[in-house]
Amino acid sequence: MTSVSDPISEIEESAMRELGRVSDSSQLEAWRHGYLGRKGKLTRVLRGLADLPLEERRSLGAEANRIKLRLQAAYQEQRARLEQDRVAKVTEGERLDVTLPGPPLPRGSLHPITQTLRDVLEAFENMGFQVVEGPEIEWDYYNFEALRIPADHPARDMWDTLWIDHEGDGRRSMLLRTHTSPNQIRIMEHTQPPIRVVVPGKCYRFEATDPTHEWMMTQVEGLAIDDGISMADLKGTLTEFARRIFGEERSVAFRCDYFPFVEPGMELRIDCFICRGEGCRTCGRTGWIEILGAGMVHPEIIANAGYDPDRYTGFAFGLGIERIALLRHGVDDIRHFYANDLRFLQQF
Ligand code: FA5
């Protein structure tokens, strides 16, 4: 007669052998199912004991229970070991080496317009001008009225305007300043001559863009008022400025121009850096690029400021920083400056 104990010890042996080969939790569960589950091998044997005579049933029953406990304990141990391995693998994979050098950060630099603005301000500071600033949102009064540009004046077309709040009354309408000239009035309101200031800032115009025109641009206003200032002082100051920024070899030309707040008025042009005076797309086929408007402060404005017009005269100018940056760096289109293309900006 075959003893039931043989299969039991065989089951124990094969169970322990297989358990040793289990390498993950799903294999482990399959193992538990196969031996200790309701239909597992050991469970089936235990059920079969019921048919045996009492004596045999007692001794085999005790043996089978011992094996069951042993397999259950081995199962728990193996489960704990697999869990430990899993945690070790995860933490190993996620371990940080804090001594590794970080990835290099790209290095930033000043925007070309900021660089040119700083150079221009420095050139004027070295000539005795002081830097002051004014608001970008301006009253119609300072931007136009006080500069002798009344509501129906044709000169308003020169500064196509972005209005914020158009009331039709010069003192109450607000706009984005179209030039830095309103600062002439603001400064004269609270300063006594002698005055020598430059005022940098963004200006806005509601106009179509092209290679030399943007709807937002940076101007620097200059204002000098003192005893006996003449046109020669204005030309001398601007020629010296052009020499410091562009070098000796560039050609400079003064030409008559009209601005309601100066008399006489003029513009300063530099020979086109692309065609050197021949005429091309960038300079609008003229051979020249205008960089600033200027003139002698209108006597009416001097008088409105409360200064003695028989004693004081002055000059003013307004220059475009983007135009100067174009000329200095040989850029053929002003719109590159604000397109935010790093391939362009990283060249400066
Ligand atoms: C003015 O804005 C006058 N306020 C200048 C002035 C000041 C004259 C003091 C007399 C006394 P104008 O519109 O020409 O003038 O502009 C002056 C300069 O700003 C131009 O020479 C040019 O360099 C620059 N500029 C004007 N419009 C634009 C634009 N749309 N895009 C880029 N630069 C511009």
Q: What is the CATH number of the domain that holds 207?
A: 3.30.930.10
Residue 123 within a domain = yes
* Domain membership flag for residue 270: yes
* CA distance linking residue 188 with residue 146, whole number of Å: 11
- Closest C-alpha to ligand 1, atom 25: 320
Determine the pLDDT at residue 1: 39
Do residues 70 and 155 both lie within one domain?
no
Tally of structural domains, the chain: 2
Q: Please tell me the distance from the alpha carbon of residue 131 to that of residue 224, in angstroms, as a whole number.
A: 12
- Per-residue model confidence as pLDDT tens digits over 266-325: 999 988 878 888 888 878 899 998 899 999 999 999 999 999 989 999 999 999 999 999
Confirm whether 313 is domain-assigned: yes
- Of the listed 316, 325, 331, 336, which one is catalytic? 316
With respect to residue 33, please indicate whether it lies within any of the assigned structural domains: yes
Domain boundary among 37, 64, 94: 94
Site to probe by mutation for ligand 1, drawn from 323, 328, 337 as the one with most ligand atoms within 8 Å of Cβ, is: 323
67 and 171 within one domain = no
Q: Quote the ligand 1 centre to 39 CA distance (angstroms).
A: 95
* 153 shares its domain with 15: no
Burial 182-204 (b: 16+ CB within 10 A, else e): bbbbbbbeeeebebbbbbbbebb
CA distance 45 to 8: 7
Q: Half-sphere exposure of residue 117, counting CA atoms within 13 Å on the CB side?
A: 18
Query: Is ligand 1 within 6 A of the CB of residue 181?
Result: yes
Q: Could you tell me if the CB of 323 is within 6 A of ligand 1?
A: yes
Residue 105 belongs to some domain of the structure = no
**Interior/surface letters 105-120, b for 16+ CB within 10 angstroms, e for the rest:** eeeeeeebbebbbeeb
* Integer Cα distance of 52 and 5 in angstroms: 12
**142 and 80, same structural domain?**
no
Tell whether 100 is covered by a domain.
no
The pTM score is: 0.72
316 belongs to the catalytic site: yes
Nearest C-alpha neighbor of 320 from the set 185, 221, 181: 221
Residues 271 and 142 in one domain: yes
84 shares its domain with 148: no
90 and 120 in a common domain: no
In a domain, residue 106? The reply is no
Based on the fold, state whether residues 62 and 116 are members of the same structural domain: no
Residues 333 and 259 in one domain: yes
Question: How far is the centre of ligand 1, averaged over its atoms, from the C-alpha of 305 (Å)?
Answer: 23
**Residue 221 Cα distances to 67, 114, 165, 333, 337, angstroms:** 99, 16, 25, 23, 21
Residues 257, 163, single domain; the answer is yes
Distance between Cα 318 and ligand 1 center (Å): 6
pLDDT of residue 153: 82
Residue minimizing CA distance to atom 14 of ligand 1: 293
Ranges of the chain with pLDDT below 70: 1-6, 167-171
Same domain, yes or no: 49 and 151: no
pLDDT at 276: 83
The domain containing residue 74 runs over which residues?
8-94
Domain boundary (35, 62, 94) is at 94
Decide if 199 is catalytic.
no
Residue 167's pLDDT is 67
One domain, residues 328 and 285: yes
Is residue 102 one of the residues assigned to a domain?
A: no
